[in-house]
Chains A and B, each alone.
Chain A
Amino acid sequence: MLKPFLLIIFISLTTFAQSAPLRITITEGVIEPLPYAAPAFIGETGASNEVANKITELVKSDLFGTGLFREVPKSSYISEIDTFSSAVQYSDWKAINVQALLTGSVLVTGEKLSVKFRLFDVFSNSELGKGLQFNSTKQGWRRIAHKVADEVYSRITGEQGYFDSRVVYVAETGKKGSRKKRLAIMDFDGANSKYLTDGSYIVLAPRFSPTGERVLYTSYETGTPQIYIIEVATAKRTVLKNRKGTMSFAPRFSPDGQSVVYSLEQGGNTDIFIMNLRNNSSARLTSAPSIETAPSFSPDGSKIVFESDRSGTQQLYVMSSLGGSAKRISSGEGRYGTPVWSPRGDRIAFTKQSRGRFHIGVMRVDGSKERLLTASFLDEGPTWSPNGRVIMFTRETQGERGVSALYSVDVSGRNLKKVTIRDGGSDPSWSPLGK
């Protein structure tokens, strides 16, 4: 009789002894850049030191530019990294609150460049991913640095980087009203810029193909707007043929690069069309007496977001990429335009004009959770970074001496900054990530 009795007590008390752990819920945190350390990459030879330093600085510049990382200064270091294979004293880095440690080495042999790096998760006492090596020519050092930064960013944030990418835009020189507008291409940070057209005619709205090899744009060289495709590597151009007496503009590639969606004006009415690039056949997607323009595909190619004034004011609509009925998604006060679907597929960026101010904003694809990220005299024309994290756009200042410049902002609304370019600029389009 004793045994069952004891067993009952045991079960009862054991249940009590193993009562649920204390439970607390945290909903707030701190929004601060992540502290990391990046000792100068080791130059494996005397000839490698200069390139090693340049690569280290560019990697740090890329990471700092995101607003998400804060470098812990060398003066705080307890440990030094003398060689690429140096053992990491995690406690030394933890003591100075370093969360991630980046080490690297560089070897220049003639014109060849080899860069190795390792990333450590200090608080887990372990390497974050495997060490990686990139090989290139010495002239390719900037691209290699961007690739290292992309890997570091990706391993720490869990999201693809965007540093090894380019931007095509309209470079603007001269006074307002008589500006020379040329297509130009540059690295995402403004380096390596070059012109693709000569400025003898106006160009607008360049858009990268999904592979980054071609660019669509609208040109006024014949007097009326027509759409062209230019090969980035050769600057070879072809015109998208359309019916005579029509104007075509606002083009954008489909995600598979096989079609172009665009606006076509005929007889005073503007609708959205799609052209198959393999056989040049085109089809009408909208049929309304209003102005339908600025189409942009969803990443899976199944839907198109566009702007229309069919309700009396400019608003955003989503329809099937086959055309048909469209659903209005913008609902706030003001006018909405230039919608662009995020590469992540979860948001749409747009330009909004309200109460005399222009804004760049984002909303969910159903129109919910609208957030305005910027406000100024004139902000317009958003383009997404390839990872859907940053938006670049045009900002124009007021007055006779007003100039156009490119700006970028994090999708959270933080880290608004001017992009360094040699001329004025407008209409940016961000490329996919380099291969």
Chain B
Amino acid sequence: MIESAVSDEIQSSVPRNTLSNPLTETETDNLQAAIQACWLRDPGSLAEDVKLTIFMSLDRNGRVNPNSIQVVEISGGDEDAQKVAFRRAKIAIISCGKNGYKLPPNKYERWREIEVVFDPTN
């Protein structure tokens, strides 16, 4: 049973990792531009001290699975400021991706999972 399971995993894993090339700089820049166009900043707020990394998974049409959105890493600010920073980041991701992010379909394996670092402190 173990051998069989291992063998199946190898079969299913191979195609996932041999097809796609990394995204080009232009493709990555386009994704960045799309998200930042919806990221509402409030320069006087305490949330501006918060840097956070958000994980999300996307379907093949570039649509975000809202249930996949979670904080990977967060620093700066107090608890309330972190809550606000997360909400603003989440809204940016969902609202600008409501029609699906424009990403190369043939590189799906490269962008099916994304971590977005929101860094207002930089």
Interface, chain A (partner B; CB < 8 A): 2-3, 6-7, 9-10, 13-14, 16-17, 19-32, 34, 68, 94, 97, 99, 121, 123-124, 156-159, 344, 389, 410-412, 414
- Of B2, B14, B28, B40, which one neighbours A24 at CB under 8 angstroms? B28
Contact (A29, B119) CB under 8 Å given A158-B47, A159-B80: no
Q: Please measure, in the bound complex, the distance between the C-alpha atom of A412 and the C-alpha atom of B46, giving whole angstroms.
A: 11
- A2 contacts B10, CB within 8 Å? no
The closest CB in chain A to the CB of B47 belongs to A158
Bound-state CA distance A20–B91 (Å) is: 24
Contact yes or no, A10 B36, CB < 8 A: no
- Closest approach, in angstroms, between the C-beta of B32 and any C-beta of chain A? 5
A20 to B17, alpha carbons, bound, how many Å?
Answer: 12
Residues A22 and B91 in contact in the complex (CB < 8 Å), given A10-B10, A30-B40, A158-B83: no
List the interface of chain B (C-beta within 8 A of A): 2-3, 6-7, 9-10, 13-14, 16-17, 23, 28, 31-32, 35-47, 55, 80-81, 83-84, 87, 90-92, 94-95, 98, 110-111, 113-120, 122
Contacts of A410 in B (CB 8 A): 44
Residues of B within 8 A of A3 (CB): 2-3
Task: Tell whether A22 pairs with B23 under 8 Å between CB atoms, given A10-B6, A16-B17.
Answer: yes
Given known A6-B6, A22-B111, contact A158–B84 (CB-CB < 8 A): yes
Are A158 and B80 in contact, with the CB atoms below 8 A?
yes
- The answer to whether A31 and B114 touch (CB under 8 A), given A9-B10, A24-B32, A121-B87, is no
Q: How far is the CA of A29 from the CA of B48 in the complex (A)?
A: 11
Known: A22-B114, A157-B84, A159-B80. A29 touches B36 (CB 8 A): yes
Which 4 pairs of residues, A with B, have the shortest CB-CB distance?
Answer: A29-B39, A412-B44, A158-B80, A21-B113
Complex Cα–Cα for A28 and B116 (A): 13
Residues on A with beta carbons closer than 8 Å to the beta carbon of B92: 29
> B110 and A22: CB pair below 8 A?
yes
Distance A30 CA – B88 CA, assembled complex (angstroms): 11
A275 → chain B, closest Cβ, in Å?
35
**Can you list 21 A-B pairs with a CB-CB distance of less than 8 A?**
A6-B6, A13-B9, A13-B10, A13-B17, A22-B111, A22-B114, A23-B115, A24-B116, A25-B32, A25-B122, A26-B36, A26-B117, A27-B122, A28-B39, A29-B120, A30-B37, A30-B38, A31-B41, A94-B95, A94-B98, A99-B91
Q: Contact at A30–B43, with CB atoms within 8 Å?
A: no
Contact of B6 with A157 in the complex, beta carbons under 8 Å: no
List residues of chain B with CB within 8 A of the CB of A32. 40
Q: Which secondary structure dominates chain A's binding surface? A: mixed
Q: Which residues of chain A come closer than 8 Å to B113, judged between CB atoms?
A: 21-22
CB distance from B9 to the nearest CB of A (A): 6
Q: Which residues of A contact B40 (CB under 8 A)?
A: 29-32, 34
A31-B42 in contact (CB<8A)? yes
Residues of A within 8 A of B84 (CB): 156-158
Bound Cα distance from A26 to B113, whole angstroms: 16
Q: How far is the CB of A143 from chain B (nearest CB, A)?
A: 24
- Assembly CA distance A276 to B108 (angstroms): 71
Beyond contacts A21-B115, A121-B87: 14 other A-B pairs, Cβ-Cβ < 8 A, are A13-B13, A13-B14, A17-B16, A17-B17, A22-B23, A24-B28, A24-B31, A24-B114, A97-B95, A123-B90, A159-B81, A389-B44, A414-B43, A414-B44
CA A13 to CA B14, docked complex, whole Å: 7
